[in-house]
Amino acid sequence: MNTPVYLDNQATTRVDRRVIDAMIPLMDEVYGNASSTQHEFGWRAEAAVAQARRRVSALVGALPEEVIFTGGATESINLALKGAARGDRARRNRIITAGTEHRAVHDTCTRLEAEGFEVIRVPVDRYGMVDPDDVRRAITPGTILVSIMAANNEIGTIAPLEALGALCSERGVLFHSDATQAVGKIPIDMHAMHIDLLSFSAHKMYGPKGVGALAVRAGRPPIRLIPLLDGGGHEKGIRSGTLNVPGIAGFGVAAEIAAAVMPGESRRLSGLRDSLVEGVNEALEGVRLNGHPTLRLPHNANILFPGANADAVMMAMKDIAISAGSACSSASAEPSHVLRAIGLTPQETLCSLRFGLGRFTTEEEIAYTIGRVNETVRKISRKINQKTNQKTEMRRANAAPAH
Ligand SMILES: *Cc1c(COP(=O)(O)O)cnc(C)c1O
């Protein structure tokens, strides 16, 4: 077994070897521009993109022509939200989202708020679950769209997508879902779930970084998106820029693999995840699983270790790569907005760690992790207890009357 053990698969994943193998020829032999329609180099690149489009669309129940390739989920989300909102500005101005979204959605909504749109953030329950009735009540005739993530990147809670989609379509409101953590891990069918706009990314599912997709439902009523990028008119004029052919082809292979292995992989990873949670729960006092007990991603565990500061645990355990909160928000020392939204105290959010298992996680690594976590958390909470005891003693000594 090699250390450090990688358990940060919600931040990014290792690229599958089969994906790398498929990408290499698209850099050194088939290096044409997919838009060059006059020669063999262009045709072969275009064929690779078309094949990837079929594979990626199939994974989410979309038609190939509904997929727009982008530079990642952040871009897809910006295109979906800004594109739809700015396209509808003359008629409507409300956007509904939740308080536990990834910053790509949260900050895009804040930007739109500054442009004059009204953003309603519905609350979540203590598991991070959105109540479709709250969304229903927030919808007005002036509502453009609802954006709710498919699965949370910190706590893994899976949203009631079908119910949300059905109510949006009933009310004539667009439904966007940031499905970056869900696609390739749990079944997503954008048509069955009434999702109009679906954002996702290759690097969260064993594909390369810097490539993603926005699936835009075809059919009536048509969805009008104002592009973020103007230029050569690629991707039906919605996303100009020379296509990242190797990245897109890699995304396609990653999608095909994910579809094939999903049931077995999710069973294996949820088994390992459960053994990790049980392993620390048996050994340590007061451990709690953050997020929904059952409606959660198979490979995620976000665990609260009362009295053990997460940063201190990570510093003392450099042989295990995990994260506190999300990778993006842990750069700022702010307590996680997701953990705050599900009712944790600021202190509790600072004592929570995210374990993200993945395709390459082994049983041996999980056994090792259980041992290291138990040992480290015990040591750190003992230190804290000693400090508290010292403080109490000092206070007692100070309070003691002088003889
Ligand atoms: C990683 C992530 C994103 C951002 O995806 P990029 O492809 O890195 O831009 C957005 N939303 C969620 C839920 C994510 O986990």
* Residue 89 and residue 74 share a domain: yes
Distance from the alpha carbon of residue 153 to the mean position of ligand 1, in angstroms: 8
Burial degree of 228 (CB within 10 A; 0-12, 13-18, 19+): middle
**Residue (of 32, 60, 61) closest to 47 by Cα position:** 32
* Residue 181 and residue 289 share a domain: no
What distance in Å separates the CA atoms of residue 36 and residue 10, rounded to the nearest whole number? Answer: 37
The atom number, within ligand 1, closest to the CA of 326 reads 15
- Final residue of a domain: which of 226, 257, 288? 257
Distance from the alpha carbon of residue 29 to the mean position of ligand 1, in angstroms: 31
Summarize the confidence of residues 293-309 as an average pLDDT.
Answer: 97
Q: Which of 106, 178, 251, 354 to mutate to test the pocket of ligand 1 (most atoms within 8 A of CB)?
A: 178
Residue scoring higher pLDDT (365 or 391):
365
* Residue 167 and residue 32 share a domain: yes
- Residue 296 has φ and ψ, to the nearest 5°, of -140, 160
Domain count, the chain: 2
* Residue 38 and residue 104 share a domain: yes
Q: What is the pLDDT of residues 375-385, one digit of tens each?
A: 999 999 887 66
Measured by CA distance, the residue closest to atom 9 of ligand 1 is: 74
Residue scoring higher pLDDT (386 or 275):
275
- Final residue of a domain: which of 231, 257, 283? 257
Distance from the alpha carbon of residue 389 to the mean position of ligand 1, in angstroms: 43
Residue 402 has pLDDT above 50, yes or no: no
* Residue 151 and residue 220 share a domain: yes
Which CATH number is 348's domain given?
Answer: 3.90.1150.10
Q: Which of 180, 211, 323 to mutate to test the pocket of ligand 1 (most atoms within 8 A of CB)?
A: 180
What distance in Å separates the CA atoms of residue 278 and residue 288, rounded to the nearest whole number? Answer: 10
| Cα distances (Å, whole numbers) of residue 60 to 53, 54, 122, 180, 197 | 11, 10, 26, 11, 11
Q: What is the pLDDT of residues 230-252, one digit of tens each?
A: 999 999 999 999 999 999 999 99
Neighbour tally for 84: CB within 10 Å: 22
Which residue type, as a one-letter code, is found at position 242?
T
- Residue 359: inside a domain, yes or no? yes
Summarize the confidence of residues 287-309 as an average pLDDT.
Answer: 97
The atom number, within ligand 1, closest to the CA of 209 reads 7
What distance in Å separates the CA atoms of residue 293 and residue 100, rounded to the nearest whole number? Answer: 17
Distance from the alpha carbon of residue 180 to the mean position of ligand 1, in angstroms: 6
Q: Confidence class of residue 325 from pLDDT cuts 50, 70 and 90? A: low
* Residue 231 and residue 273 share a domain: no
Q: What is the pLDDT of residues 126-173, one digit of tens each?
A: 999 999 999 999 999 999 999 999 999 999 999 999 999 999 999 999
Residue range of the domain that includes 57: 17-257
Ligand 1 pocket (Cβ < 6 Å) reads 72-74, 102, 104, 149, 153, 178, 180-181, 201, 203-204, 212
- Residue 193: inside a domain, yes or no? yes
* Residue 173 and residue 300 share a domain: no
Buried b / exposed e over 244-262, threshold 16 CB at 10 Å, is bbbbbbbbbbbbbbbeeeb
* Residue 321 and residue 280 share a domain: yes
The atom number, within ligand 1, closest to the CA of 74 reads 9
Distance from the alpha carbon of residue 201 to the mean position of ligand 1, in angstroms: 7
* Residue 391 and residue 279 share a domain: yes
- Final residue of a domain: which of 257, 282, 308? 257
The atom number, within ligand 1, closest to the CA of 152 reads 13
Measured by CA distance, the residue closest to atom 2 of ligand 1 is: 180
Distance from the alpha carbon of residue 204 to the mean position of ligand 1, in angstroms: 8
The atom number, within ligand 1, closest to the CA of 101 reads 13
**Residue (of 94, 134, 142) closest to 116 by Cα position:** 94
What distance in Å separates the CA atoms of residue 205 and residue 262, rounded to the nearest whole number? Answer: 11
Enzyme catalytic residues: 328
- Residue 213 has φ and ψ, to the nearest 5°, of -145, 150
Distance from the alpha carbon of residue 132 to the mean position of ligand 1, in angstroms: 24
Q: Following DSSP, what letter does each residue of 197-219 receive, concatenated? A: EEEEEGGGTTS-TT-EEEEE--S
**% of the chain surpassing 70 pLDDT:** 93
Which CATH number is 252's domain given?
Answer: 3.40.640.10
What pLDDT score does 327 carry?
Answer: 44
Total-model pTM: 0.94
What distance in Å separates the CA atoms of residue 161 and residue 194, rounded to the nearest whole number? Answer: 8
* Residue 158 and residue 104 share a domain: yes
* Residue 178 and residue 59 share a domain: yes
Summarize the confidence of residues 197-223 as an average pLDDT.
Answer: 97
Q: Would you call the peptide bond into 208 cis, given omega within 30 degrees of 0 as the criterion? A: no
What distance in Å separates the CA atoms of residue 164 and residue 306, rounded to the nearest whole number? Answer: 35
Measured by CA distance, the residue closest to atom 12 of ligand 1 is: 180
Residue 328 has pLDDT above 50, yes or no: no
Category of 124 on φ-ψ map: left (φ > 0), alpha (ψ -120 to 50) or beta: beta
Which DSSP helix (H) or strand (E) runs through 98? strand 94-98
Measured by CA distance, the residue closest to atom 5 of ligand 1 is: 73
What distance in Å separates the CA atoms of residue 237 and residue 227, rounded to the nearest whole number? Answer: 8
What pLDDT score does 391 carry?
Answer: 57
How high does pLDDT run on average in the chain?
94
Q: Which of 158, 183, 185, 204 to mutate to test the pocket of ligand 1 (most atoms within 8 A of CB)?
A: 204
- Residue 403: inside a domain, yes or no? no
Neighbour tally for 109: CB within 10 Å: 23
**% of the chain surpassing 90 pLDDT:** 91
* Residue 347 and residue 367 share a domain: yes
